[in-house]
Structure 1
Amino acid sequence: MKYCLLFLFFLSLSTLSMAQTGKLKGTVSDQKGGKAQYVNVLIEGSAKGTLTDKDGEYVLDDIPVGEHTVKISSFTYAPISKVVVIRNGETTVLDVSVTEDELQLQTVEILGRAETSYKNTNSFIGTKSSTPLRDVPQSIGYVTKELALDQGAYTVNDVVKNVSGVNQFTFYNDITIRGHRIKGQDISGNLVNGMRAFTSFWKQQLIPHIERVEVIKGPASALFGNASAGGTINRVTKKPLREKRQSISSTVGSFNTFRMLGDFTGPMTQDEKLLYRLNLGYENSGSFRDLQYAKNLVVAPSFSFLPSEKTLLNFDVVYQKSDGMLDRGQAVFGNGDLFSVPISKSINAVNDYLKEESLNVTISLRHEITDGLSFNSVFMRSDYSEDLQEHRGNNKFANLGDGSLDIEKVEMRMGIRQRSWSNNNFSNYFNYDFSTGDVDHKLLVGYDYFQQTLHPGGSQLQARGYLTADRTGSINSYNPANRELYALDADGNPIPVVPHFDLTDPYGNQLRDISKYIYSNRSFPQSSLYSHGVYVQEQMKIGKLRVLLGLRQEYYTDLLNYKTDSEEKVTQDALIPRVGVVYSLTPNINLYGTYVQGYQPQTATVINNPEAGGPFDPLTSELKEVGVKSDWFEGRLSATMAFYYLTEKGALYNANSPGNPDLLVQTGKDLSKGAELDLVGRIIDNWSVIVNYAYNKATIEESDDENLVGRQKPNAPKHAGNFWTKYIISEGNLKGLGFGLGGNFVTERFGSLGATDEPPVFPGYELVNAAVYYKIDKFQIQMNFNNIFDKTHWVGGYDYIRAFPGAPRNVMTTVSYTF
């Protein structure tokens, strides 16, 4: 038997050695005779495939002899198939011409992006239709999945440095755009596929399933209604592709990091009318911060159904589960010395935890009714739940008996909280493309609806303050004038309900006996809010001039005491205009200008919270912006320069009051003005680059608190910049070896503005990062070196009890396989 097996083995080797193969090459051009770059060329029924180069040329080696079907496709061009005959040892030439695909005009993003570079050509978010970015009269920044992978980025916060004017505010899902803060749970600043999804505020959003992160600079209220003044972040999930692609990768590195990712896509049927994509992500990582860890799971399937050329349907699901600990930041001594306590020290207890789950389900439809007229509909259901147990600072240092503070101890509180929300929103709109004489029109008319509900059962147990004299109750704050009301220790100091955290104690993160605390119980009454709006937008093209006109009527309603006998409606509404122009100075340079108003209502929960100090007016904003957008190196590199003047009225800030952590202060008027530069793309095929710089003077112009007037807004640097470049050796013995180098800088920033004296100042910093890549066949290994010079820095913060340090030097190694 063993001789038979040996014979078969050598026979198979002999057969393989005599396999007959040939070569296929050619050029793909468009209807105008131009080069069709980066188009997929695939041999049907095999793993053979490639992309055309910058000259539209391609070469496929070692193709078995015989008749084969060659498929040519991309996001930009209509797919075609050609039959070729491959002969042994010969080169077959197949030149083809492709035509623009109607799907490039899809007004709902149903099919995936086939581009594989740092550059993204089109966007749906700026106009609710596929529009070249340089034809949109507003600055839109973005980060593609390719850039995120090259930098070893895993969260939205990791990649925002690649967009000018965008910076972290804290550790959380919490950033600033042009000096205006956007929180993760803030429906006015966070979108998924153009829809409002409920996301975690406490944990940064993962991106293994994200195609690109987009940032609309300035208010986007004319299209989306409730929108932040600084801008809106849109995360575009990966959609199915017509061609088969599969990849897996694993990352290990500093802080006990371990990650596994999978990305699988392709047709599910032979006629390619049903496509799929499945993205999987798993993380089990530690942190440079004491006790912090992250166990994350992402499961994101997506299906596209193309029953005809006129109808497209997509079903998209993203499930995320997170297990970790809420990190409220670094506490340092009360003298304001940020270096007085190691950046690794947290004030959590070892038995703290934060468990979160979210589910987003989206259904998207596009149907072409007649030539030029299409109907688009999107529905998203978003669910989020939170289960939290934490020890945190009470926004002040420990009280001594005489009323002074011990600046080396933090007054603590402890909470146990559970809550869950759901969002339902749908958007329906028509796009109509038509011409009148020499004027081309693109008309958009739509209606959308959004509802958010806090479900019943939400509640919190909270322990804080100081023990009463009989030690059976608690008082939230200490008043030395009434010392007889408090329990005092042997030194005459008030005894806290939750023991103070001693910043000098190296073993302060011990297990806490939470059963000994005295709790107050707070319920979160069931609540609901909804908004809806009608909008119209006209894009006209007259020769070299493009004009965009938009108008939206928005209605916003908060329901207080939801589903009770005392239910009450709090309503707000606004009429929101948008005007923009683009002028093509040359074939590759466009000038643009825009004027748009923004609107962001205060929620009824804030308006009617007696401890917040309201009522408060809604936020309104106004943007005036001019700039230039251009493409270089045959369209491989894009550049945007923007100059803006942005005002906002009614912003809320935490007053940083030790006795009332819910107290807010509303400013009269904020002003952001500055300039931004973004360069992104390829200089040559194997040399990619991204560069950005922002100057942003974001100040408070009017306020009832005179101490705030003239101050730079919190965590808004005046200067910030970033660059990253990657070069891959494409020929010779070192073919496949590549190098990445980058750096970013941020100038100093203020913390909270609520204090009556000077606010905390977080110093500026400069970081240098690098990477090494090596690719051979279907394998790639890369090493990312972050913060090479081990610079101690702070990405943001509120005060000296809640400062947020950045990661020290770390190394990540990733191995990827594509098949």
Structure 2
Amino acid sequence: MKYRTNLLSLLLFFTAFITYGQHLVKGKVTDESGAALPGATVLLDQQGTTTDSNGYYEFENVSSGQHQVVVSYIGFKTQERQISLQRSRNNLDFVLIEDSTQLQEVEITGRRNTTYKNEVSFAATKTATPIKDTPQAISYVTKEVMADQQAYRVNDIMKNISGANLFSYYDDFTFRGFRSGETLINGLRVVGLFGPQPILANIERVEVIKGPASAMFGNSIPGGIMNRVTKKPLAEDRKAINFTLGSFNTLRTTMDFTGAVNENETLLYRLNLAYENSDSFRTLQEFKSWMIAPSISFLPTDKTRINFDLVLTNFDGKLDRGQPIFGATAGTDLNSTPISFAIAQTNDYQRTDVNYATISLNHTFNDQLSFNASYMRYLFDEDLLEHRTSNQFAIDGNGDPIPTLMGMQVINRQRELLADNLSTYFVYKANTGGLEHKVVAGVDYIEQRQPAGGGQARARGYRTVDGGVTTNTSNPDILLKDENGIPVPNVPHFNLQNPQYTVAQLSDYEFDQGSFTPTRYYSYGVYIQDQIRWNDWQFLIGGRQEFYTDVNKADQPDELKTQQQKFLPRVGVVYTLNPALNLYGTYTESFQPQGVAAQNNPNNGGPFDPLSGQMVEFGAKGEFFNGLLAANLAVYQIDNKNILVNANDPLNPELLRQRGAERSKGAEVDINGRILPNFTLTANYAYNVAEITESDNEEEVGRIKENAPQHQGGLFGKYTIQGGALDGLAITGGTNFVTERNTFAEELQLPGYMLVDAGLSYRVDKFNISLLVNNLLDQTHWVGGYDYVRLFPGAPRNYLLSVGYSF
């Protein structure tokens, strides 16, 4: 018996000795959104396994010491980790990042990631280039940020972009202190609208390519250019429906469906739908809009990809020209009228249709050569009736301004604007010695036109003693006066102290009738670019020859053409300091001809010289936390000449003048991505000094430009609780700030502000409910402004509550 006991003890000893140092290694493999990746390959040294349907893997009986773990999955970057096992149970999770190297050169199939971080920009170099390897600052906002901030229109997301500031309520911004002029959709130019804010329901991300982009896109301003990337089809089935209600009688719904049509996934579809019916904190303002946006991708072979987008959008509301305050003679009290105060009449309207279609082709001939082509037709149709200011106050019998009465005008306008874009280019990849080349060579054609058939009726000015109407108030004696000696306006003055909103009778006004002169501009651009890689260095060398033609009285016997051309260079360098950090520098130029209206309007003092700018920029771009978080730093100087501004001539409100030169210099930081698997973040900061350096008016020299704050920034984050009773609950919140800004009125400055937003969301199974309170502390603020008669206040405290279902 004793013998058997000793033998059993010996066996237990040897078993313990053999198993000593054996460990369990397990974990989960997900993408950046937290979604499981089933079937991912996990290698531990030479031992391999795959993840199960929920993304989990496990290795048993792993010995102590150092080991290498490698995780790979088709379409994602492979990850490697060195581990040292000291505990019996070891949890090792992996978050894989989508691999941009498998993307086509034009954006045809959709972005699979669902995160605040974006890896690649197609527009910046016309190739699928990682943002980290692009020698120019690119800020962006992904659809995931838009969803968490419950953003519906493009103005809602501008706070997430460093160096970007609202100028007004319209599709109207400043980038690095320069007012925006052109917008791209999928890298193609659209009509520069001064009207409804674009809806975001079909937008994958919004990019702002900082600084001059003329070397890629032709005429553009020096501060930057916005590119809106539409959602493209995915091979996997995704369907989502969302309903939102909130302050100001807000009611919205959006739908997003995508997937494969056939079994072999050569035909993919996506359908985005949106509808809104809401009011505003602004008097009489309302938003009624709908969108239908189907998209189809056809992949007949592994060498050919075709995508077709169609977007139909309708807006029905009023054009908000901003808040007027009492005039300069009454001081600069921004609170002399409430922020809800607007000038309009009950029967005003703005009805617009914005429709565009895009077709894109990518064909790969071989490993070295591919061809890319994109075409867009863009149409804008407007029917407008508005009561708005005449940009000046009423006058008394001596011709002096009355700061509590606003001069008025009425505009009734119908017009159509069209744009055509064709972009074609080849991409050739080759090696010469130790150099890797990616050469882009192509031709672009851009045309925008206002065809015959548009017209406008305008009522303004004062009645004269002889029964006429005049806008010339320099001689008060010819003006008809009322019993109080006040000149009688053609359109009644608007009383800022006692506003009256009525159904205006247009028959009471004397209108000037006129048709719009048919106009168009077209531009050819021929360009070549080489992206060179040598060891840790990357070089971008390119140039574009632009041929620009403005046409007034298009297709008429007395057609008038104005032609300009310019060569636009671009040079950049990127140095890989280490796997996580790149350093870069760039030089590029901008070219922006003045518009045909400015060139040929006899009332505004034209024609005018084109804008011309240059930029030098240096920076660093890094990826941290295993590539989950991107951080970019840029410092720059931009010089620009020949900006057009209003001359502020009371006798001729249309008169323009050109400044000699302006300079913008500063620094920007953008951060996007994840710090933890359950903590996402977007943050930005910009320091900018944008000032007038040369002017015929010596008093302007040294003055800071309009709507160009010296400091601005913000952050927004989402923390999701994982596990326990609160599993699925997320806390969202953020803040953004803007310092003081000048307006076109030298004595009027907009104050700085800081806003706080906070919210909660809860996801259970396929349902998600979100509550977000914007401007939590109810700060009165102004997001932009022109002068005393057109200021643009921000919304007071408001809430949005949404319920979504994904399936």
Give the TM-score normalised by structure 1.
0.88
Q: Which has the larger radius of gyration?
A: 2
Structure 1 window deviating more from structure 2 (776-785 vs 396-405): it is 396-405
Asked if the contact 1:26–1:57 (Cα under 8 Å) also holds between the matched residues in 2, the reply is: no
Question: How far apart in 2 are the matches of 1:635 and 1:793?
Answer: 37
Match of 1:736 among 728, 731, 740: 728
Question: How far apart in 2 are the matches of 1:749 and 1:121?
Answer: 33
- Aligned twin of 1:370: 366
Distance 1:101 1:783, change over 3 A: closer
Match of 2:760 among 772, 778, 783: 772
Q: One-letter code of the match for 1:401?
A: G
Q: Give the superposition deviation at 1:569.
A: 1.5
> For residues 535-550 of structure 1, what are the structure 2 equivalents within 5 Å?
535-550=527-542
Match of 1:316 among 309, 313, 324: 309
Asked if the contact 2:549–2:564 (Cα under 8 Å) also holds between the matched residues in 1, the reply is: yes
Q: Give the superposition deviation at 1:292.
A: 0.1
- Secondary structure (helix, strand or coil) at the match of 1:288 reads coil
Question: How far apart in 2 are the matches of 1:199 and 1:52?
Answer: 49
- Aligned twin of 1:499: 492
Asked if the contact 1:38–1:52 (Cα under 8 Å) also holds between the matched residues in 2, the reply is: no
Question: How far apart in 1 are the matches of 2:269 and 2:186?
Answer: 17
Asked if the contact 1:349–1:509 (Cα under 8 Å) also holds between the matched residues in 2, the reply is: yes
What is the aligned length?
A: 746
Match of 1:786 among 764, 774, 778: 774
- Aligned twin of 1:697: 689
Structure 1 window deviating more from structure 2 (319-328 vs 199-208): it is 199-208
Distance 1:103 1:362, change over 3 A: farther
> For residues 375-394 of structure 1, what are the structure 2 equivalents within 5 Å?
375-394=371-390
Asked if the contact 2:31–2:113 (Cα under 8 Å) also holds between the matched residues in 1, the reply is: no
Question: How far apart in 2 are the matches of 1:397 and 1:696?
Answer: 34
Asked if the contact 1:297–1:322 (Cα under 8 Å) also holds between the matched residues in 2, the reply is: yes
- Aligned twin of 1:555: 547
Identity across the alignment (%) = 48
Asked if the contact 1:171–1:804 (Cα under 8 Å) also holds between the matched residues in 2, the reply is: yes
> For residues 105-124 of structure 1, what are the structure 2 equivalents within 5 Å?
105-124=103-122
Q: One-letter code of the match for 1:386?
A: E
In structure 1, the gaps of 5 or more residues are 1-24, 30-34, 43-48, 64-71, 79-94
Which string of whole-angstrom CA distances, capped at 9 and with x for unpartnered residues, describes residues 494-518 of structure 1? Answer: 1000000001115x12221111100
Which string of whole-angstrom CA distances, capped at 9 and with x for unpartnered residues, describes residues 68-122 of structure 1? Answer: xxxx9875579xxxxxxxxxxxxxxxx99x9997973311100100111100011
- Aligned twin of 1:474: 469
Question: How far apart in 1 are the matches of 2:41 and 2:590?
Answer: 44
Distance 1:307 1:458, change over 3 A: same
Asked if the contact 1:40–1:74 (Cα under 8 Å) also holds between the matched residues in 2, the reply is: no
Which string of whole-angstrom CA distances, capped at 9 and with x for unpartnered residues, describes residues 624-651 of structure 1? Answer: 0001110110001111110000011111
- Aligned twin of 2:392: 396
Asked if the contact 2:32–2:97 (Cα under 8 Å) also holds between the matched residues in 1, the reply is: no
Q: Does 1:296 align with 2:289?
A: yes
- Aligned twin of 2:82: none
Q: Does 1:642 align with 2:638?
A: no
Q: Does 1:60 align with 2:56?
A: no
Q: Give the superposition deviation at 1:207.
A: 0.6
Asked if the contact 2:568–2:590 (Cα under 8 Å) also holds between the matched residues in 1, the reply is: yes
Match of 2:482 among 465, 483, 489: 489
- Aligned twin of 1:442: 438
Distance 1:77 1:61, change over 3 A: closer
Distance 1:36 1:277, change over 3 A: closer
Question: How far apart in 2 are the matches of 1:342 and 1:490?
Answer: 31
Question: How far apart in 2 are the matches of 1:250 and 1:709?
Answer: 51
Asked if the contact 1:76–1:103 (Cα under 8 Å) also holds between the matched residues in 2, the reply is: no
- Aligned twin of 1:22: none
Question: How far apart in 1 are the matches of 2:489 and 2:73?
Answer: 68
- Aligned twin of 2:11: none
Asked if the contact 1:241–1:275 (Cα under 8 Å) also holds between the matched residues in 2, the reply is: yes
- Secondary structure (helix, strand or coil) at the match of 1:134 reads helix
Question: How far apart in 2 are the matches of 1:792 and 1:446?
Answer: 50
Question: How far apart in 2 are the matches of 1:165 and 1:52?
Answer: 43
RMSD of aligned Cα (Å): 2.5
Q: One-letter code of the match for 1:317?
A: L
Q: Does 1:244 align with 2:244?
A: no
- Secondary structure (helix, strand or coil) at the match of 1:160 reads helix
Give the TM-score normalised by structure 2.
0.89
Which string of whole-angstrom CA distances, capped at 9 and with x for unpartnered residues, describes residues 763-817 of structure 1? Answer: 1111000111100000000001000111000001010110110000000001000
Distance 1:477 1:778, change over 3 A: same
Q: Give the superposition deviation at 1:126.
A: 1.1
- Secondary structure (helix, strand or coil) at the match of 2:660 reads strand
Asked if the contact 2:282–2:342 (Cα under 8 Å) also holds between the matched residues in 1, the reply is: yes
- Secondary structure (helix, strand or coil) at the match of 1:673 reads strand
Q: Give the superposition deviation at 1:197.
A: 1.6
Which string of whole-angstrom CA distances, capped at 9 and with x for unpartnered residues, describes residues 679-702 of structure 1? Answer: 111001110111111000000100
- Secondary structure (helix, strand or coil) at the match of 1:808 reads coil
Distance 1:433 1:774, change over 3 A: same
Asked if the contact 1:39–1:73 (Cα under 8 Å) also holds between the matched residues in 2, the reply is: no
Distance 1:62 1:564, change over 3 A: closer
- Secondary structure (helix, strand or coil) at the match of 1:592 reads strand
Question: How far apart in 2 are the matches of 1:689 and 1:532?
Answer: 41
Distance 1:38 1:463, change over 3 A: closer
Q: Give the superposition deviation at 1:742.
A: 0.4
Match of 2:583 among 587, 591, 600: 591
Q: Give the superposition deviation at 1:655.
A: 2.0
Question: How far apart in 1 are the matches of 2:139 and 2:651?
Answer: 41
- Secondary structure (helix, strand or coil) at the match of 2:188 reads coil
Which string of whole-angstrom CA distances, capped at 9 and with x for unpartnered residues, describes residues 174-218 of structure 1? Answer: 000000001xxx4xx200000012253212111110000000000
